[in-house]
């Protein structure tokens, strides 16, 4: 392996930083690998360099076009790197408005919605923003739902893992232990020892639909979310209507009322329209950055359930709605 | 192009694996950097073949671990040979050994059944090639376990102690993308995506793998399969299917394709009933151009 000049190391590091900024999930180890890879390819041959860097820095085929475009713009002479390289964006939604704009460009509508819109539950082009007064929730209902949610959460929270443990009520004979016992009786298998799988905790990512169509169930849903969030530590909760908000911290309040207070401050599109497709698109497009569900699901990686709580009527599923 | 990469490409071609620079570069880097190579691609594009060719090139053994749902450590790593242990206990029954000594005896390496991962770690001689096939089929739990093994190539067996690999095996993982693999596993590996080959490349593959094939037949078969890949099929035929079909046609002494022959041999490359119907309908309508005009 030939030595790589300090200059090249620096450039490679900058290139990696650039890729990372564009959303490729790269760590310092990958930069190191890329540099080492450059040491074992022909540096004069551009194609060699490209393939070498690609093998080390691209971790899934979907990232390859982005890599190629950035490679072109970064390694082609001393010209300053443009802020926005000519990368083909993920398919724009068929929606005539183009991709969802997250900036609050549209006029916000308070509390009252367009009557027309309420009468005909059809997709609307307006982002309906509103706040919900949660104070009207009953006390005993809350307790009942909490108990129920805890029970459901407990059922959800544990699932059999890879490892085994000895257990009297096991499902399989532990041959290892049984044989060890048999040593005492001269090879006679007099007692069988049983084992079963150790339970593992599931991490849960909840996506709750809080748009207009879910208004009827909102109360129940909220109590459920609150109970779930507080029954177990490894739960991430997101709510969405036209935008997506992470409400894990808001829900983790000392009391239900406090949580509700936090929520109505935080969530601005309560009872608005639904755009699950675009949300998903947005989730996947920004995956790799904090505070999006796919990212959380990925971060908590194994044993993660993604629970979508929605009524299923949506304004648009978006072009990449199903590709999560 | 770097000489080593060129040599690898040549060596692969010598072994009958038609390849390109991207594959050769990835293999070269995986060897020099000592990192596992994760190969993804559609079924039947020759992912597994890479490991086989690599083993031949390095003159090492190929150790294969086929993944499936529910695969666990006793099938992937090691298991005690219980019948042998039992027999041993019976035979030693009248000896004056203490229980502890007997226990140490039956839980020693002699009674260990080495499954692929342990076999790769304890392999003597030239470092082997470890092929972890279709890793996307194993569950995520197993993936996490695999990460442990792949990161330091050592395994702790409670009764025996820690076993460490003397020579690190070359590792090739393949995935059909039935499930998205974790970022952690991806980060541990070099990545290679193999797409369906171009018409020319596939023609070269057919010619290389089936030396006696009629030139016109080879051309027609690849062209036909290529036109099929443009259709929306449930199971898109890969290179493996092209080769199967071409071999079948050679056995049937065909020198060119005609509609009847295609109909009779559809089963060689279509593995789904729905697909069979789709393609038959296309044939009826004469919409598959590769047949209509004889290749000049």
CB contact under 8 A, B89 and A51: no
Q: Residue A35 has what pLDDT?
A: 92
pLDDT digits (tens, 9 = 90+) for B259-278: 889 999 999 999 888 899 98
Shared domain check, A146 and A252: yes
CB contact under 8 A, A184 and B25: no
Task: Answer whether A167's CB lies under 8 Å from A300's CB.
Answer: no
Residue at which a domain ends, from A74, A106, A125: A74
Kindly report the number of other CB atoms within 10 A of residue A69's CB atom. 15
Mean of per-residue pLDDT scores for chain B = 88
Shared domain check, A207 and A190: no
Structural tokens at position A105: 């460009």
Task: Answer whether A182's CB lies under 8 Å from A151's CB.
Answer: no
Q: Residue B247 has what pLDDT?
A: 94
Task: Answer whether B211's CB lies under 8 Å from B250's CB.
Answer: no
Which among A162, A165, A198, A295 is the top mutation candidate for probing chain B, defined by the most B β-carbons within 10 Å of its own β-carbon?
Answer: A162
Which residues in chain B (162-191) have CB-CB distances under 8 A to chain A? 180, 182-184, 186-187, 190-191
In percent, how much of chain B has pLDDT > 70?
Answer: 97
- Tens digit of each residue's pLDDT, chain A (324 residues): 456 788 889 999 999 999 999 888 888 889 999 999 999 888 888 899 999 999 999 998 888 999 999 999 888 765 444 444 444 444 434 443 334 333 333 333 333 333 333 344 444 444 544 554 444 556 676 677 777 777 776 676 667 777 788 888 888 888 888 888 887 787 778 888 888 888 776 777 888 877 766 666 676 777 778 877 776 667 788 887 777 778 888 888 777 778 878 877 777 666 655 554 444 444 443 333 334 454 444 444 444 555 565 554 444 443 333 333
| B143 CB within 8 Å of a chain A CB | yes
Shared domain check, A70 and A43: yes
Contacts of A43 in chain B (CB under 8 A): none
Number of helices and strands in chain B (H, E): 15, 9
Nearest in space to B259 (alpha carbons), one of B294, B291, B219, B213: B291
What gap in Å lies between CA A102 and CA A278, rounded to an integer?
Answer: 11
Task: Answer whether A290's CB lies under 8 Å from A278's CB.
Answer: no
- The answer as to whether A169 is a domain residue is yes
What gap in Å lies between CA B15 and CA B96, rounded to an integer?
Answer: 58
Structural tokens at position B210: 């089936």
Shared domain check, A223 and A136: yes
Total-model pTM: 0.67
Residues B72-84: b if buried by 16+ CB within 10 A, e if exposed: bbebbbbbbeeee
Q: A39 lies in which domain range?
A: 6-74
Q: In what order do the strands lie in the sheet with A194-201?
A: A158-166, A194-201, A172-173
Shared domain check, A280 and A179: no
CB contact under 8 A, B26 and A51: yes
CA distance to partner chain A, nearest, from residue B269 (Å) = 26
- φ, ψ dihedrals at B173, nearest 5°: -110, 140
Shared domain check, A242 and A225: yes
Which among A34, A38, A59 is the top mutation candidate for probing chain B, defined by the most B β-carbons within 10 Å of its own β-carbon?
Answer: A59
CA distance to partner chain A, nearest, from residue B221 (Å) = 28
Q: Residue B98 has what pLDDT?
A: 82
Residue at which a domain ends, from A201, A227, A260: A201
Q: Is the pLDDT higher at B156 or at A310?
A: B156
Shared domain check, A195 and A224: no
Q: Residue B93 has what pLDDT?
A: 74
Which among B21, B26, B190, B195 is the top mutation candidate for probing chain A, defined by the most A β-carbons within 10 Å of its own β-carbon?
Answer: B190
Helix runs in B170-267, H state only: 183-188, 199-209, 215-229, 239-251, 259-264
pLDDT surpassing 60 at residue B170? yes
Cα-based angle B6, B7, B12 (whole degrees, multiple of 5) = 100
* Largest Cα span, chain B: 86
Shared domain check, A181 and A47: no
Which among B6, B20, B89, B100 is the top mutation candidate for probing chain A, defined by the most A β-carbons within 10 Å of its own β-carbon?
Answer: B89
CB contact under 8 A, B93 and A187: yes
Structural tokens at position A157: 């929270």
Nearest in space to A238 (alpha carbons), one of A279, A271, A289, A202: A279
Q: Residue A214 has what pLDDT?
A: 64
- φ, ψ dihedrals at B190, nearest 5°: -85, 150
Shared domain check, A60 and A29: yes
CA distance to partner chain A, nearest, from residue B50 (Å) = 15
pLDDT surpassing 60 at residue B75? yes
- The answer as to whether A208 is a domain residue is yes
- The answer as to whether A140 is a domain residue is yes
| Number of domain units in chain A | 3
Task: Answer whether B249's CB lies under 8 Å from B288's CB.
Answer: no
Shared domain check, A248 and A231: yes
Q: Residue A55 has what pLDDT?
A: 92
Pick A51's closest partner by Cβ from B25, B142, B184: B25
Nearest in space to B51 (alpha carbons), one of B220, B172, B180: B172
- The answer as to whether A79 is a domain residue is no
Three-state secondary structure call for residue B221 = helix
**Rounded average pLDDT over B70-81:** 88
What gap in Å lies between CA B16 and CA B56, rounded to an integer?
Answer: 11
Confidence of residue B1 (pLDDT cuts 50, 70, 90): low
Three-state secondary structure call for residue A240 = strand
- The answer as to whether A254 is a domain residue is yes
What gap in Å lies between CA B60 and CA B129, rounded to an integer?
Answer: 7
- The answer as to whether A108 is a domain residue is no
pLDDT digits (tens, 9 = 90+) for B211-241: 889 999 999 999 999 999 988 888 899 999 9
What gap in Å lies between CA B196 and CA B226, rounded to an integer?
Answer: 9
What gap in Å lies between CA A96 and CA A311, rounded to an integer?
Answer: 24
Shared domain check, A284 and A143: yes
Is residue B284 classed exposed, middle or buried when 0-12, 13-18 and 19+ CB atoms within 10 A define those classes? exposed
CB contact under 8 A, B82 and A48: no
Under the phi-then-psi rule, with left for phi > 0, alpha for psi from -120 to 50, and beta for the rest, what region is B150?
Answer: alpha
**Interface size between A and B, measured as CB pairs under 8 A:** 114
Shared domain check, A188 and A65: no
pLDDT digits (tens, 9 = 90+) for B99-128: 888 888 888 889 999 999 999 999 998 999
**Rounded average pLDDT over B153-182:** 89
What gap in Å lies between CA B222 and CA B290, rounded to an integer?
Answer: 9
- The answer as to whether A92 is a domain residue is no
DSSP A273-317: ---HHHHHHHHHHTBTBTT-HHHHHHHS-TTEEEEEE--S--S--
- The answer as to whether A252 is a domain residue is yes
CB contact under 8 A, B183 and A176: no
Is residue B273 classed exposed, middle or buried when 0-12, 13-18 and 19+ CB atoms within 10 A define those classes? exposed
């Amino acid at each position: 392996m030939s030595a790589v000049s300090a200059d090249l190391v620096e450039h490679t590091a900058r290139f990696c930083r650039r890729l990372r900024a564009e959303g490729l999930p790269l760590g310092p180890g990958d930069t190191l690998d890329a540099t080492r890879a450059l040491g074992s390819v022909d540096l004069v041959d551009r194609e060699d360099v490209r393939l070498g860097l690609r093998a080390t820095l691209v971790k899934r085929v979907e990232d390859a076009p982005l890599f190629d475009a950035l490679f072109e713009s970064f390694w082609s002479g001393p010209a300053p790197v443009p802020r926005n390289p000519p990368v083909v964006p993920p398919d724009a939604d068929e929606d005539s408005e183009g991709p969802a704009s997250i900036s609050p460009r549209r006029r916000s509508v308070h509390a009252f919605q367009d009557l027309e819109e309420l009468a005909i539950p059809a997709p609307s082009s307006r982002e309906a923003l509103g706040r919900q007064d949660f104070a009207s929730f009953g006390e005993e209902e809350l307790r009942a739902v909490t108990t129920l949610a805890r029970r459901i959460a407990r059922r959800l929270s544990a699932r059999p893992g890879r490892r085994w443990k000895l257990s009297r009520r096991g499902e399989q004979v532990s041959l290892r232990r049984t044989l060890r016992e048999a040593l005492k009786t001269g090879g006679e298998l007099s007692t069988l020892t049983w084992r079963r799988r150790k339970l593992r905790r599931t991490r849960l990512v909840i996506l709750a639909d809080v748009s207009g169509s879910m208004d009827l169930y909102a109360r129940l849903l909220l109590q459920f979310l609150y109970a779930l969030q507080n029954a177990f530590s490894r739960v991430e909760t997101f709510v969405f209507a036209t935008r997506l908000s992470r409400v894990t911290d808001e829900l983790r309040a000392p009391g239900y009322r406090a949580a509700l207070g936090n929520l109505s401050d935080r969530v601005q599109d309560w009872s608005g329209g639904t755009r699950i497709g675009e949300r998903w698109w947005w989730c996947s497009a920004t995956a790799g950055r904090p505070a999006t569900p796919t990212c959380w699901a990925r971060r908590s990686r194994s044993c993660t359930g993604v629970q979508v709580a929605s009524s299923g009527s949506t304004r648009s599923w978006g072009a990449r709605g199903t590709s999560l | 192009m770097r000489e080593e990469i060129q040599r690898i490409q040549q060596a692969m071609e010598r072994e009958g694996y038609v390849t390109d620079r991207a594959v050769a570069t990835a293999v070269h880097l995986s060897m020099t950097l000592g990192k596992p190579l994760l190969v993804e691609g559609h079924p039947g594009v020759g992912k597994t073949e890479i490991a086989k060719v690599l083993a031949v090139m390095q003159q090492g053994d190929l150790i294969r671990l086929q993944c499936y749902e529910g695969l666990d450590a006793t099938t992937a790593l090691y298991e005690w040979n219980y019948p042998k242990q039992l027999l041993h206990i019976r035979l030693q029954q009248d000896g004056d050994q203490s229980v502890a000594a007997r226990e140490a005896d039956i839980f020693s390496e002699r009674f260990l059944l080495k499954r692929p991962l342990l076999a790769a770690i304890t392999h003597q001689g030239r470092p082997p090639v470890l092929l972890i096939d279709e890793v996307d089929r194993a569950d995520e739990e197993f993936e996490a376990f695999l990460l442990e093994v792949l990161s330091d190539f050592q395994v702790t067996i409670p009764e025996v102690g820690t076993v460490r690999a003397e020579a690190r095996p070359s590792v090739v993982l393949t995935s059909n993308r039935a499930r998205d693999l974790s970022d952690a596993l991806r980060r541990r590996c070099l990545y290679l995506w193999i797409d369906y080959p171009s018409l020319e490349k596939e023609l070269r593959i057919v010619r290389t793998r089936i030396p006696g094939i009629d030139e016109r037949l080879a051309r027609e078969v690849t062209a036909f399969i290529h036109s099929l890949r443009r259709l929306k099929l449930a199971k898109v035929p890969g290179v493996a299917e092209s080769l199967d079909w071409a071999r079948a046609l050679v056995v049937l002494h065909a020198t060119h394709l005609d509609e009847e022959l295609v109909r009779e041999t559809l089963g060689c490359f279509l593995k789904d009933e729905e697909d069979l119907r789709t393609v038959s309908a296309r044939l009826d309508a004469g919409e598959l151009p590769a047949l209509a005009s004889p290749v000049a």
